[in-house]
Homo-oligomer: A and B are copies of this chain.
């Protein structure tokens, strides 16, 4: 991947960090647009109390000078506003367990009751942990805040070429209220679109270069997403070819878009349309039956302050992941080290 990035950080750690490498020079950064994405990720009907504590804002620590990218790696940081309360249990350095207050603070955040639907059980087995917190702090959806920042950065870059990424979801507020009352949770369906994408991103020539596959990985990698589809999705399994395939006009336009903008693993010039199914949040107020890994006894699962529905937030993250994949495929096709050079290459092709 030419446009590559790594993310780091725990849910209640000091901060989330991302480094983006493969950024063209000369691109004007709009920090407020990134912050708007972060704010939108925190909103939405069904979010719990935690979202009030934090007001995520991105800090840029490298790769940008006087508002423009230099070509160097870009560091994005989101600080945890609640860090003061977590300094002991989440300390990087060993804490003094001989001090009773410290020991209590450290101990009371320890978790041994694994939650169904989470990384908890497989995570402690894989990494040999005996405190579930060592898993859940990283497996938490909190990590997606920094992906949202990286994605907002990518969206800004794509915006220079007229490509726009959007998402929408149908939120049933009544159903959410009902679930909240019952201590239950809800998921839902998302739709993410990319408009004005040039023809020929991705390729059919090798399986791992197909744009649909790369999008599928990126969207499925969002916590709680269990299904990804392009265009007409599962309907393609039910309808005959004559009703599915999008006839081509002499100007290469189409009347329909069942393909969702991708044919042969390439963008075909129509809007890219992705749908994703999000499962309900696995942390239930009315907890599920589970086991305590310390005692081996049956126990209800640990409950840590959580949301009833995070569908709108997932939409922001899905936009981010789609923007990242399209940016990568775009830079792969058009090359170029600076915004100006890329624009020349794009023009030449058009």
Contacts and interface: CB of A to CB of B under 8 A. Distances in A.
A6 B25 contact: no
Contacts of A313: none
Interface in A222-272: 222-223, 225-242, 244-250, 252, 254, 259-260, 263-269
Interface residues of A, number: 158
A63 B8 contact: yes
Given A117-B241, A280-B239, A281-B241, A129 B73 contact: no
Contacts of A336: 333-335, 345
A127 B70 contact: yes
Nearest to A230: B226
B335 A335 contact: yes
Contacts of A60: 92
Nearest to A348: B344
Contact of A345 (B116, B179, B203, B335): B335
A61 B207 contact: no
Interface string A9-21: 1100111111101
Contact of A139 (B67, B119, B204, B296): B204
A256 to B, nearest CB: 9
7 contacts: A125-B199, A126-B337, A184-B240, A207-B321, A227-B229, A245-B282, A250-B296
B119 A71 contact: no
A204 B126 CA distance: 11
The 7 closest A-B pairs by CB, nearest first: A335-B335, A119-B264, A126-B200, A241-B280, A227-B229, A213-B221, A217-B217
Contacts of A277: 229, 233-237
Contact of A114 (B5, B125, B248): B248
Contacts of A116: 245-248, 254, 263
Contacts of A75: 8-9, 15, 17
A348 B70 CA distance: 21
